[in-house]
Chain A
Amino acid sequence: MKVLGKPRRRVDGRAKVTGQTRFADDVVLPRMLHLRLLRSPHPHALIEEIRTEKASAHPGVHLVLTGKDFPVSFGILPVTQDEYPLAPEHVRYVGDPVAAVIAKDEQTAGEALELIEVKYRALKTISDPLEALQNPEPRIHAYSELGNIHRLQAFEFGDVDEALGKAHLVFEDMFFYEGNTHLAIEQHAAVAAVDPDGKLTLWSSTQVPHYVHRSLARVLQLPASHIRVIATPNGGGFGGKCDVCNHEMVAAKAALRLGRPVKVCLNREEVFYMHRGRHPVLMKLRTGVTREGKLTGMHLQTLVDGGGYGSYGVASTFYTGALQTVTYELPRYKFEAARVFTNKPPCGPKRGHGTPQPRFGQEVQLDKIAEKLGKDPAELRLGMVAKPDSLTANWLKIGSIGLAECIRQVVERSSWKSRYRKSGFGKGLGLACGAYLCGAGLPIYWNKMPQSGVQILVDRSGQVTVFCGATEIGQGSDDVLAAIVAEVLGIDPFTIRCVTGDTGITPVDLGSYSSRVTVMMGNAAIQAAQKIKDQIALAAAEQLEVAPDRLIFSNGKVFFESKTVTFAEAAGFAEEKFGTLGAVGSYKPPRAPGRFKGAGVGPSPAYSYTACVVEAEVDPATGWISVPKIWIAHDIGRTINPVLARGQVEGSVYMGLSEALMEEQVFRRLPPKLSDALVHKIPSLLEYKSLTSLDMPEVDTVLIEDPDPNCPFGAKEVGQGPLLPVMPAVANAIYDAVGVRIDELPITPDKVLKALELKAQGKEGRVGPVSFPRVPYPEPVEVAPPWEGGDGNAKKGAEKPKLKASAA
């Protein structure tokens, strides 16, 4: 390897640190107007009337739009097309957009917003999942499956009750994971403009230009060929820019109406309303173990608070169960889930998408299991790590799995054996593991086309331009693209020009989400680069009079022994021989073995694995938590650029620790007798707490390379997986330090102190959920695990749940 695996400045690094990168808000066009959205002040209401005359007459205002201007709905998933750019009649959370003003500047637009008169009729507010279960009416969405339950899912892979019945011990635990948001430093922004030929261009800070492209075509009723979406480099995404956004649609419509460019920049509070962040999840886990510490079966129930719209929620809900099986050998598994609608900003995908919540529960429960069985938690896990090239109970195909080595590394480096349970009161270590997808196996809309395409142009100057729809969201996708092409062609990655995230000129890539870019774009890039390389080799071989397969491409040269030409000369020979040089590559994940309905969420070309040890210090007098150091080992398959890979791991540790200790998207419900209000408690960067650099511990990162055959040069993902073990490892470390269980996130000092007080009173030293409501889960889809003679198909379908079940 000449390029891969070597620490290197990222190809877009200099532009970023010198402020040259042009983000969406940096796009300024002649005659540009500015858009602002009027948002609902009510959590749940019907719009009776909107009067816009005064706003339209305000000096400097060019256009006022309302829900009437947008008859067509949209939504990121085909099954939940439940949003409108501006709400036509029904508002579902404080912050739901209802009207827009386009004016000469932002200030004027803001003034005019106050002149729009909206008459609302308030509806009963549904503030949390319990209320959603208890109140099937008023319905937040008419299409929901049962009352205000958006979606119910149930699967059983083998008879779990029987497996638990035969277990030596059965552990039943409840956990709660509070919602939180992405907190990308760049707020969403977009600029829409109409080209001289009448076509629309939208620049947007989006992770998914392809999906924005499709949705714009639907909402604006325009041919897709008349729309071009350019994803500007994102100042962080983390899933928050994975959805198609109201402001993108409205800006596009306004630009088409006015024939002038229109810019919209959300302020921080609006980003908290756009949200699509981590779902709050209440979980109940029943797990059976043998005396030797093997799992016999697991039954997981989740109750997921979806907020006001569908977003990715159906997928998120599947993900609260799908990946529980890929870390440890689990013979039987049952999973029941419900997502409810509530009058809060919609939840969606945030780094780890649906999996951090159950992973937290599982890994904390394993800590309890290890203690009860008198086993070391690391040894317990090492004894049941899933096998490479195996199928899971729910029919996921595991390829390479470097989890055991990850565990051994963090155990060794943290001196686990001499410190765990031996650090003295107030100090402790906690261990946890995690796993994540390397790209979702299926696209979000049904099609059999490639999920990523790459096109390469090479000319006689030796110039290499690579086109791909993938989006640079700070994660380094441009660097991965350049590095892979550079590796194949034996050139310097800094000589390559990457053109990415532009639906007008780049091949389709589904977007920067589900940790799919390195694997899918990377495989497509290898294919394209290999085709070009073959052409160049053929032509150069003729000139050098050697066999093409003997030629080596390296250091900008093409050579065999002393016969050498530069890459540019070789490209020239190829251009002479073949004409203009270009090649394309594309990638589609392998077909997953599961055949049952619902098997589409969870499969991936590969899974990444992580293990983590957290050191915690807890002051028993105050509950104050300090985390001096974290050791983390991630099975990345193969490292493309260690600098970026480590950055992703450290960033995940930062985000994970922040979620563990402080982040929460929480709401204020005012006394219902006095007010209907249900508002985000802290929609600001100051009061929504996340770690500062002063709160960050030392991080010891190890990259484990267990190459996966499905991945480009074996490289798996690193953007999301390393987040997963951090939260449970923190909880486990706190238990090791002071002997109390905090079974809910975030873990704050007041909860620790409360648990310590309970323990001192002789009660259970625990803070966490104590009850799980009755949820009308349907009959499960029964699928036999591979080792019980299953073929991946369901035995029988799910029965439709009955409405009266939810009236309880």
Chain B
Amino acid sequence: MMRLPWFEHRAPESVQEAARILAAEGPSAMLIAGGTDLLPNMKRRHQAPKVLVSIRGLLKGEGAAVGAGTTLSEITRRSELPTGLRQAAQQVATVHLRNMGTLGGNLCLDTRCNYYNQNYEWRKAIDFCLKKDGHVCWVATASKRCVAASSTDCAPALLALGASVKLVSERQERELALEDLYNNDGIDYLTRRPDEILTEVRIPAASKSTYWKLRRRGAFDFPVLGVAAAVRTDGQIRLALGAVASRPFLVDKANDFLNGKTLTDEVIDEAARLVGSRAKPMDNTDLDLYWRKDLSAEFTRYALRELRGDDMREVRLRVARQPL
């Protein structure tokens, strides 16, 4: 089997202690919570941290905030959380991985690309790539920027809900809107500094929310498209997309268009068209990229129709292959 590289494992007893270790060790240290993304990546030598700082069990969240250490399985069980987030969490990987994987981990998930998510020997055979150990982006050889895809399911759901996150380092704490956590860059995809710990997520109240995930199968697969939509308590509708860029993002054009409108079929079609024009999938993940782009509009229709109150259970069952 593929083996992990050697590393030192630290298990601090508080967030403050973890932050001190991060500050002292510098960028050669990495955080580990569930490890469901990091450990396979370490086996493929995507990351080879000298020190792993375990924050498992430390990030429980205070007050109304959801702890970043909450497992994805717990998210699905907490009925007071918005539907869109729970649908997103429910569709991550498999039950075993959801039992280990955390909300914070899913938000910080490494970007993915099938020129990158391969083991060392495979990557050597293509002379590596821009994201790791090489110089060329094989997806778009003229590109100066890595186009690896953001593959988090929870982020688009939380973006639509208007969530914010708290980042804690040895010296400071800061809270930022979730959309500001991400860069559209497959390598430098997070604005989180290496010494910061994402500790909790604040989710404003919403009257309705939903998440539609496109993937080949009913389990295991990362999204090749995620469409999230939420109606805030003031009635404003927000759409967010996942897996069609190096970051999850709010679709501003569509959201501006939807402002103050009633979800008639015509309004939904126009919003879907606007979303479709913003999806820029690349040939670096599963399924045909033009088809994936086409489907971003159709999935937007699903999401908005569901918000409107249409019965989407049959479509949901067909797409997700499970009731959600």
Contacts and interface: CB of A to CB of B under 8 A. Distances in A.
Contact of A753 (B127, B286, B291, B319): B291
B264 interface: no
Given A265-B1, A691-B217, A749 B125 contact: no
Interface string A77-113: 0000000000000000010000000000011001000
A106 B1 CA distance: 8
Interface string B13-51: 000000000000000000000000000000000000000
Contact of A694 (B121, B125, B217, B287): B217
Contacts of B295: 622
Interface string A670-700: 1100110101111110110101111100000
B128 to A, nearest CB: 11
Interface string A608-632: 0000000001010111101000000
A695 B218 contact: yes
- Interface of chain A: mostly helix, strand, loop or mixed: loop
A12 interface: no
Interface centre among B117, B119, B125, B287 (most CB of A within 10 A): B125
Given A622-B298, A624-B319, A674-B141, A692 B291 contact: no
A41 B121 contact: yes
Contacts, number: 87
Nearest to B119: A269
B125 A750 contact: no
A679 B126 contact: yes
B318 A626 contact: yes
Given A39-B121, A265-B1, A750-B288, A686 B220 contact: yes
Interface string A37-53: 00101100000000000
A689 B286 contact: yes
Contact of B125 (A41, A107, A617, A622): A41
B7 interface: no
Contact of A269 (B121, B141, B220, B287): B121
A543 interface: no
Nearest to B290: A750
A749 B216 CA distance: 10
Nearest to A106: B3
A753 B114 contact: no
A20 interface: no
Contacts of A39: 121
A217 interface: no
Interface centre among A662, A687, A748 (most CB of B within 10 A): A687
Interface size band for B: 35 or more
A423 interface: no
B216 to A, nearest CB: 5
A693 B127 CA distance: 37
A291 B84 CA distance: 59
B125 A94 contact: yes
B1 A683 contact: no
A753 to B, nearest CB: 6
A463 interface: no
B217 A695 contact: yes
Contact of B286 (A42, A265, A623, A687): A687
Contacts of B122: 94, 269, 679-680, 683
Contacts of A750: 287-288, 290-291
B121 A617 contact: no
Interface string B105-119: 000000000110111
B219 to A, nearest CB: 5
B126 A662 contact: no
A267 interface: yes
B2 interface: yes
Interface string B250-292: 0000000000000000000000000000000000001110110
Interface residues of A, number: 42
Interface string B169-193: 0000000000000000000000000
Contacts of B136: 674
B321 interface: yes
B4 to A, nearest CB: 9
A518 to B, nearest CB: 33
A692 B215 CA distance: 12
Contacts of A622: 294-295, 298
B322 interface: yes
Interface string A261-284: 000010101000000000000000
B125 A677 contact: yes
Nearest to A105: B3
Nearest to A751: B288
A624 B220 contact: no
Interface string B302-324: 00000000000000001101100
A675 B287 contact: no
A624 B318 contact: yes
A675 B127 contact: yes
Interface in A606-662: 617, 619, 621-624, 626, 662
Contacts of A753: 291, 294
Nearest to B3: A107
Nearest to A662: B216
B127 to A, nearest CB: 6
Interface in B192-227: 216-221
Nearest to A679: B125
Contacts of B125: 41-42, 94, 677, 679
Given A265-B1, A622-B298, A753-B294, A692 B121 contact: no
A110 B3 contact: yes
Contacts of A621: 298
Interface in A764-789: none
Interface string B131-170: 0000010100100000000000000000000000000000
Contact of B114 (A94, A624, A682): A682
Given A269-B122, A748-B287, A692 B114 contact: no
Contact of B126 (A107, A619, A675): A675
Contacts of A677: 125-127
A671 B114 contact: no
A150 to B, nearest CB: 24
Contacts of A680: 122
A748 B288 CA distance: 9
B124 interface: yes
B218 A670 contact: no
A676 to B, nearest CB: 9
Nearest to B125: A41
B1 A267 contact: yes
A251 B125 CA distance: 25
A110 to B, nearest CB: 6
17 contacts: A39-B121, A41-B121, A41-B125, A107-B3, A269-B121, A668-B115, A674-B136, A674-B141, A675-B127, A679-B126, A680-B122, A686-B220, A692-B218, A694-B219, A694-B322, A695-B218, A753-B291
Interface of B: 1-3, 114-115, 117-119, 121-122, 124-127, 136, 138, 141, 216-221, 286-288, 290-291, 294-295, 298, 318-319, 321-322
Interface of A: 39, 41-42, 94, 106-107, 110, 265, 267, 269, 617, 619, 621-624, 626, 662, 668, 670-671, 674-675, 677, 679-684, 686-687, 689, 691-695, 748-750, 753
In the complex, the 5 A-B pairs of residues with the closest C-beta atoms, listed nearest first: A694-B218, A750-B291, A750-B288, A41-B125, A694-B321
Given A41-B121, A689-B216, A694-B217, 8 more contacts: A41-B124, A94-B125, A110-B3, A269-B119, A623-B291, A675-B126, A677-B126, A684-B118
